[in-house]
């Protein structure tokens, strides 16, 4: 029978080890040292999002994006009709008024969008751009006035945010209606897209509303009821983790052509022997894309996405697509895209999933409890193992000394067993994340560190000492 090592310092040693492991885990969970946990979670979410985009392409959304680019400005300025006064960016207020008027003058009311987001931020009046009040008068004329009985698109302007609020002077010249503003900039949300966000700092005495809907929510509040859906959940707020998807088109998302190559590249990249997969073609985004140059040449109804029947509701977003403006965002599928495409993808997510959009879910509290339980289990197991010593010798003959081959084989088997458990844990945690991401519509935060911490425990020595008491 094995003898029990009852030396009291082993109990103290086990307690100190448990306390140290608990503090280590809590520090990693809550402090996120060096951003390792955040970076690993983002990398895994990026790869899963890319894979899902190829495996599950989506139908085109009832969304049209009109891009304002340099070639379009130049072409419209030099056209015989001289559609634009300016030949470069920024445009004059009169040019903006012409663009907005063109967006809503679709002729047949069935051809008009239900809402328009004009993603241009008029932070403060510019004398070189003309009279901002004239633009405000045009906005008042083309917007959807309450009780008008006419089907006119609701027009929203970029209202900035806490870091860049719209000036009180601009707000007054543009009509002084808080309902026409959509929050287009925010902070403290990371990579998530909020449904509601502040339009100004709390201590700002500006006449702007304190908070406003994001551009995506502002548009979908018109699109949702026009489609006959249940829209009560729209006022609940929250933030979503955008799913970057692509159109169901063989040229874009042929899963048997793109997915195997993507998986191979991903595996090689994790092994340190490959480059990241290439970005998808931006033209594969699941919405209708129109250049400003084409807006003035298209017939009535040209803004309606081609797949939609006449009279079907849709929304329009207009924004500047110019690298010099620095309004570009990193995406897991299309690399950098202009801000107007970010808002358009958010509308697509809301339209496709409604209240089941992918939500952020911070589980650091649950992770903390789980880590304490894991550390307690491992420390108790290790303490019980350390209390056991080798059995007493049964006779004068001492047991033979183990050979190098015996020792090496035992160590390799132990190493292989622990490596197998670590691999199993990595696969299990990845499958849990994939299940939450794809089935429960939850993007977890504060959990991926478990791979590193539990691996530390698994690879630490916990077998008996095989030495008798002195």
Q: What is the pLDDT of residues 312-356, one digit of tens each?
A: 999 999 999 998 888 888 888 888 899 999 999 999 999 998 877
- Cβ atoms of 227 and 214 closer than 8 Å: no
Helix axes 9-31, 450-459, angle to 10 degrees: 160
Residue-level pLDDT at 117: 95
Distance CA 49, CA 438 (A): 10
Q: What whole-number distance in Å separates Cα of residue 405 and Cα of residue 414? A: 14
3-class state of residue 61 by DSSP? coil
Closest CA to 243 of 56, 72, 369, 388: 56
Which residues are CB-neighbours of 329 under 8 A, at least 6 positions away? 336, 337, 338, 339, 342
What is the pLDDT tens value at each position of the chain, 470 positions in all?
Answer: 454 445 566 677 778 877 877 887 777 777 767 666 677 677 777 777 787 788 788 999 999 999 999 999 999 999 877 789 999 999 999 999 999 988 887 556 678 899 999 999 999 999 999 999 999 999 988 875 444 555 678 899 999 888 888 999 999 999 888 788 999 888 766 678 889 998 888 887 788 888 899 999 999 999 999 999 988 888 877 888 888 999 988 877 655 555 666 667 767 766 666 666 677 888 999 999 999 999 888 876 788 999 998 889 999 999 999 988 888 888 888 888 999 999 999 999 999 988 777 776 666 777 778 778 877 877 777 777 666 544 444 445 556 677 777 777 777 877 777 677 667 766 766 676 667 666 655 555 555 555 555 555 554 554 444 444 44
β-pair partners for 163:
none
Pair 159, 199: CB distance under 8 Å: yes
CA distance 329 to 135: 29
Question: What span, in angstroms and rounded, lies between the C-alpha atoms of 263 and 210?
Answer: 46
pTM value is 0.75
Beta bridge partners of 316: 64, 116
Q: What is the side-by-side order of every strand in the sheet holding 115-119?
A: 181-182, 154-158, 115-119, 315-320, 63-68, 288-291
Q: Are strands 239-240 and 193-194 parallel, antiparallel or unpaired?
A: antiparallel
């Amino acid at each position: 029978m094995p003898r029990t090592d009852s030396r009291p310092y082993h109990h103290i040693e086990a307690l100190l080890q448990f306390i140290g492991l608990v503090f280590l885990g809590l520090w990693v969970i809550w402090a996120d040292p060096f951003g390792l946990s955040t970076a690993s979670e983002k990398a895994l979410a990026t790869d899963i999002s890319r894979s899902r985009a190829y495996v599950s392409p989506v139908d085109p959304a009832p969304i049209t994006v009109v891009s304002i680019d340099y070639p379009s400005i130049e072409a419209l300025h030099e056209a015989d009709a001289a559609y634009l006064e300016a030949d470069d960016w920024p445009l004059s207020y009169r040019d903006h008024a012409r663009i907005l008027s063109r967006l809503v003058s679709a002729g047949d009311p069935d051809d008009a969008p239900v809402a328009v987001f004009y993603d241009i931020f008029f932070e403060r009046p510019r004398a070189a751009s003309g009279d901002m009040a004239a633009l405000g008068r045009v906005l008042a004329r083309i917007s959807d006035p309450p009780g008008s009985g006419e089907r006119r698109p609701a027009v929203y302007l970029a209202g900035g945010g806490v870091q860049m609020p719209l000036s009180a002077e601009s707000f007054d010249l543009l009509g002084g209606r808080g309902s026409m503003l959509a929050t287009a900039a925010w902070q403290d949300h990371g990579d998530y897209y909020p449904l509601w966000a502040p339009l100004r700092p709390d201590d700002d005495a500006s006449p702007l509303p304190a908070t406003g809907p994001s551009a995506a929510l502002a548009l979908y509040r018109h699109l949702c009821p026009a489609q006959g859906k249940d829209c009560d959940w729209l006022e609940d707020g929250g933030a979503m983790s955008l799913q970057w998807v692509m159109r169901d088109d063989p040229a874009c998302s042929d899963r048997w052509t793109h997915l195997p190559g993507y998986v191979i590249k991903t595996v090689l990249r994790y092994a340190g022997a490959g480059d990241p997969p290439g970005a998808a073609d931006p033209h594969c985004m699941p919405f209708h894309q129109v250049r400003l140059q084409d807006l003035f040449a298209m017939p009535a109804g040209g803004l309606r996405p081609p797949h939609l029947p006449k009279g079907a509701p849709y929304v329009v977003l207009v924004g500047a697509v110019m690298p010099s403006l620095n309004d570009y965002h990193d995406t897991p599928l299309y690399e950098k895209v202009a801000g107007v495409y970010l808002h358009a993808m958010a509308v697509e997510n809301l339209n496709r999933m409604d209240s089941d959009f992918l939500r952020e879910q911070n589980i650091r509290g649950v992770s903390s409890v789980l880590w304490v339980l894991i550390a307690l289990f491992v420390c108790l197991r290790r303490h019980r193992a350390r209390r056991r010593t080798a059995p007493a010798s049964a006779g004068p003959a001492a047991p033979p000394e183990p050979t190098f081959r015996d020792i090496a084989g035992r160590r390799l088997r132990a190493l292989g067993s622990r490596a197998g458990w670590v691999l199993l844990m990595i696969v299990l945690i990845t499958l849990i994340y994939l299940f939450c991401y794809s089935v429960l519509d939850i993007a977890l935060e504060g959990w991926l560190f478990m791979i590193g911490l539990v691996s530390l425990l698994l690879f630490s020595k916990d077998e008996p000492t095989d030495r008798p008491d002195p």
